[in-house]
Homo-oligomer: A and B are copies of this chain.
Amino acid sequence: MNGRILPQCGVERFLILLDGPWATLIVRELLRGPQRFTELRGALTGISAHTLTHRLRRFEQHGLVKRTAYAEIPPRVVYELTPLGASLQDVLSAMNDWGTTVPEAALTAS
């Protein structure tokens, strides 16, 4: 992505980093606090280990998530939001507020 022309629009910048449902739902879970891989996977019904691994690695690269490995037996790995990741709280709160106002008829229409 180096040398790539970055959009000026903040919404487009947001979408570069949170580009779909799984990315948003992983942040929702981590906003509850640090978690292990298995805890995250358990909370996200339907996500594959591959997708979760890939997403977490991308979040680490983009500075949204910190991965800490504890030299214990057995080894323990914990994922948590960085301050930049945690500042997504306002966005998810706005999503949640709006989502809870949507009438069921709108959600089930098709």
Contacts and interface: CB of A to CB of B under 8 A. Distances in A.
A47 interface: no
A99 B25 contact: no
Interface stretch (A32-40, A60-68, A73-81): A60-68
A96 interface: yes
Interface string A88-110: 10111111111111111111111
A110 B14 contact: no
Contact of A15 (B13, B24, B106): B24
Contacts of A63: 103, 105-106, 109
Given A1-B109, A63-B109, A91-B91, A96 B14 contact: yes
